[in-house]
Structure 1
Amino acid sequence: MIKAHESLVEKEITRLIKQKEDAVNHKDRRRFLEVIHPGMRTYIQEQKRWFDDAVRWIDRGSFRLKMISLIPGKEHQVRVWLEQQYSRKGKTTTVKFPLLFQETEKGWRDADLPFYHIARGDVLVHYSDERLKEQALISLEAADRAVHGLERQFGWHPAERLEVKLYHSPEVFRQSIKLSLPDWAGGWHEAGQSVKLIGTAAVTDRKLLSSGIVHEVTHQMISEMTGDNAAYWLQEGAAEYFQSHLLPGIRTEEEEAYVKPRWSLGRLETIHLESLPEKEAKAYYAECDQFFRFLMEQYGVEKVKQLFAVLELSPAVDRDSGEKLPLINRRTRSAIRKVYGKSLEQLERDWIRSLKEEGGARPKPSVDPSAD
């Protein structure tokens, strides 16, 4: 009887894997999402974005999923090793990874990687390899402190339990987000998703890991406080700023002097960050950081809070940030004029003037980095 049951389960899982493969190749998002566990809202949102990217990125009809093995897990769960393959402009990519399937009221469903878990309060950390436990504990502490720090500054608290996912493999991390993600990306967050970072069994820099967590948690705060209407430069500027200013112990005490901006803010708005080479991406982050620092140092945190509040008045659009770039740029420009009484170009001129007047000197930030 047990063997017969296992045979039926394997047959059903094989069918679901084939359904995912066919759904990608035929660009059928509904059938693709039917395979996902209906109770995992964060994972559903992540898979929506994964699917939308995949059907644009890969060569049509090239997506393949093959079961390598199936191992019974806890009650109503099985672990499946998969081989995923696709081509992009004729170049084939193959990756192997485990996937958890769980039996639900609607039958067996894809339930994400078979993570390990630790939790504290409103933060839940998932990690893909037990060797990442120390990093998971560091991440849990940093995420918890980041939530409290941002709550003090902005009165924000996560709408739902904040999830962090750590991946032991850079390729599995990339494949779990979207196939087009550049190799230089080490962390990720978009509205409705978990905070994601690449982990490593050898913890070499606790501060770097903690600052990365703060960066991504800041993204979640901004997405929730603005209805996900903040321009890319605002998102990245705030995340870069707070990762080095929010928490004592990981704050950069001596910062580099301002450097001449590489792009105008108008040009910065049009750049798709993920399409940049690593060196240019670093310059993008640096410029966003510098302009956001100017807003904080010149006008203070209350104006930023007002900016977020005005942005939240616009309806949320459930699309990838890159796809709605023109829309969120317009909304951010409009909100800036209402809150600061100046256009983006006027603020830019003030910023450039301040750089010349200060000659690279930095005033102290107005944000209060007091301890929890």
Structure 2
Amino acid sequence: MKKGTMIGVFICLSLLLSGCRVVWHDPSLALNNKNVLARNIVSTHIKIYGELTGSESITVTGDSNLKKGVKLSIAIQEYVRRPGLSKNHVLSGEQPTGPIVAEKEVTVGSNGHFTTEIDRNGSKTMSKLTITFKPENQSESIKEFYGKYGEKISNTDSSITTIQYTHDGKDYRGHQVYGIVGSTGTKSPLWSIYSGAVEDEIIEVTAAEGTPDWTFQHLEKAVQDLDYETFMKFQNQNNPTFYKEQARWFEEVMFTEAKGKDVKLAVLGFKQIDETTGTVNFHVNMQQSEGSEAYTNNTVTYECIKAGNTWLINDLPFEQIVSESGDITVYFKPGDEAKGQSTLEDTEKLVNFYSKQFNWDPSPITIKLYSTNEEISATVPSPSLAGWNETGESLKINTADKIEDTFSILSHELTHKMLSDLTNDNAAIYLQEGFATYLQNRVQKDEAGAIYFDDELVDTNTKKAIENNPKVLSIEELNELSYSDDIFTIYRDGYLMSNYLIKTYGMEKFSEVLNDLAAYEYIDKRIEHKMETIQPLTIEAFEKVYGPVDALSKEYIDYYSD
């Protein structure tokens, strides 16, 4: 479930695997990449990491996947001091900065390494040090590789910040990481996100009761103290789906903390609209891996309402559109009406198609559309998501991509919704991901908008997946994996298993497995939180329908070995 954020260049040429219950928007995981290939896009990702050390002068040491000869611009800007400024505001990366007090250029050497020293010019104030890739500063050969205006670079995750700017009347796309320099110096990782540059502070509630600050200080402290009851007091119970999602959000924080990974919540700012409404911008820092000093940089803006003496969080400021049947609701941001309408139309078509093909009687469907992966991630919380679905929660979709890519994500997430309905949410992780990836590749939309099965595409992509990596895991091995393990294997091998079972034994037999799982009691938890129960149930259902799983595993492994 957690995607790494280390250095890597991903060229969209190999057809591997795309989509997941939590869809990582990463071209290196594309099983069905025909849309990208058809547009002849080379999606080059750049990543940079490193460390800042020193006091009066700062030594910048880093590594990257950048080509030798790339020039990086380094700048130091002091943070603007203001009343009430906290470390959390500074760590967010969005605290205003003043003029540049020092700047320098460094050239990337062999193997992407770079190092230099920059003088602080006497500065003794907490500052932000940025390292920026600027296309206009590069040599002609570098421009040819990355694009004259940076147009060949496609960074879609939170490991590096993309910046849009104008230079000499031309629009450019640059890429930036930063670190925080303390007043007396620093020893800090370099990232596009908060990376532990300043020691954690103990949050204390000091604001006057009933003020927005009082609410938000309580929220920050509740997350820090893992205080579920206090956190939920500041969520709007009259918005039941959102209230459920916020309860699950906190449960995910506790689940993540129990695995040794930290989650932080900071309030970046509150904007009061009138006496009873406003918006609050939250910053959610998620530790990338246990023991890592790298944290994600996810932000989300929620609507707030005042109830008595308390401000309550009330989801994003969405508008909505509802199907004629009343069973499908799509929430979208103001200005995104066209995306909302398109999503509703595609959802109606997919639900109708799935219902006929799989005898699915869907429960009501709620879909929320977001602008970025980072925004979805902040609401879950989990790093860099393009799509999300869990029983009792909304389907969450990033609509920043092309329409055909959004359709692909939607088909995947609706498969999860269907499979949860058909199994009472008792399907193992690899069955959920495998079947969703199978339908994501098999279910396509023609130019007229009609939905159809593309079995030829499934055969082609299956062949390419095996050519790329002939090793196939057994059901017993898949049964041991969680989202914290090899995420690629869960989707790829789960897909191969689903494809084999349906192609060899038919959908009717496959449906018997789902019906057997539906007989078990529903457990009101996210799928990863209950895998100790549902993984064994899936094995039992397989054996009841297909026979011993060791023999079944040998069958499909042999099938792909031929």
Q: Which residue of 2 aligns with 1:113?
A: 316
Tell me, yes or no, if the aligned pair for 1:25 and 1:60 is still in contact at 8 Å: no
Give runs of aligned pairs for residues 9-88 of structure 1, distance below 5 A. 11-57=210-256, 63-66=264-267, 68-72=269-273, 77-84=277-284
How far residue 320 of structure 1 moved from its aligned partner, in angstroms, is 2.6
Q: Which residue of 2 aligns with 1:367?
A: none
Return the alpha-carbon distance in structure 2 between the equivalents of residues 70 and 55 of structure 1: 29
Q: Which residue of 2 aligns with 1:331?
A: 537
Shift in alpha-carbon separation, 1:215–1:247, aligned structure 2, 3 A: same
Choose which of 160, 167, 183 in structure 1 pairs with 2:370: 167
Q: Which residue of 2 aligns with 1:307?
A: 513
Return the alpha-carbon distance in structure 1 between the equivalents of residues 359 and 376 of structure 2: 31
Is 1:287 the counterpart of 2:493? The answer is yes
Shift in alpha-carbon separation, 1:196–1:306, aligned structure 2, 3 A: same
Higher Rg: 2
Return the alpha-carbon distance in structure 2 between the equivalents of residues 272 and 23 of structure 1: 28
Choose which of 550, 555, 558 in structure 2 pairs with 1:345: 550
**Superposition TM-score, scaled by structure 1 size:** 0.79
Shift in alpha-carbon separation, 1:216–1:274, aligned structure 2, 3 A: farther
Tell me, yes or no, if the aligned pair for 2:387 and 2:413 is still in contact at 8 Å: yes
**Superposition TM-score, scaled by structure 2 size:** 0.54
Tell me, yes or no, if the aligned pair for 1:262 and 1:287 is still in contact at 8 Å: yes
Number of residue equivalences: 336
Return the alpha-carbon distance in structure 1 between the equivalents of residues 443 and 299 of structure 2: 38
Choose which of 300, 310, 321 in structure 1 pairs with 2:527: 321
Give runs of aligned pairs for residues 154-193 of structure 1, distance below 5 A. 154-160=358-364, 162-178=365-381, 181-183=382-384, 185-193=385-393
Shift in alpha-carbon separation, 1:284–1:119, aligned structure 2, 3 A: same
- Structure 2 runs not aligned, ≥5 long: 1-207
Return the alpha-carbon distance in structure 1 between the equivalents of residues 263 and 529 of structure 2: 24
Return the alpha-carbon distance in structure 1 between the equivalents of residues 343 and 283 of structure 2: 30
Tell me, yes or no, if the aligned pair for 2:434 and 2:495 is still in contact at 8 Å: yes
Paired-residue identity, %: 24
Choose which of 230, 235, 241 in structure 1 pairs with 2:438: 241
Give the secondary-structure state (helix, strand or coil) at the position aligned to 2:329. strand
Structure number with higher helix proportion: 1
Q: Which residue of 2 aligns with 1:355?
A: 560
Amino acid corresponding to residue 127 of structure 1 in structure 2: F
Per-residue CA shift, 1:54-93, capped at 9, x if unaligned? 23546899844335132327x9543233445576755455
Return the alpha-carbon distance in structure 1 between the equivalents of residues 522 and 386 of structure 2: 27
**RMSD of equivalent CA atoms:** 3.1
Shift in alpha-carbon separation, 1:97–1:262, aligned structure 2, 3 A: same
Structure number with higher strand proportion: 2
Return the alpha-carbon distance in structure 1 between the equivalents of residues 321 and 346 of structure 2: 13
Shift in alpha-carbon separation, 1:96–1:215, aligned structure 2, 3 A: closer
- Structure 1 runs not aligned, ≥5 long: 1-8, 360-372
How far residue 213 of structure 1 moved from its aligned partner, in angstroms, is 0.3
Tell me, yes or no, if the aligned pair for 2:253 and 2:263 is still in contact at 8 Å: no
Return the alpha-carbon distance in structure 2 between the equivalents of residues 95 and 182 of structure 1: 8
Tell me, yes or no, if the aligned pair for 2:216 and 2:267 is still in contact at 8 Å: yes
Shift in alpha-carbon separation, 1:68–1:310, aligned structure 2, 3 A: same
Return the alpha-carbon distance in structure 1 between the equivalents of residues 308 and 423 of structure 2: 35
How far residue 224 of structure 1 moved from its aligned partner, in angstroms, is 2.0
Shift in alpha-carbon separation, 1:72–1:275, aligned structure 2, 3 A: farther
Amino acid corresponding to residue 270 of structure 2 in structure 1: S
How far residue 231 of structure 1 moved from its aligned partner, in angstroms, is 0.6
Tell me, yes or no, if the aligned pair for 1:85 and 1:92 is still in contact at 8 Å: yes
How far residue 275 of structure 1 moved from its aligned partner, in angstroms, is 4.2
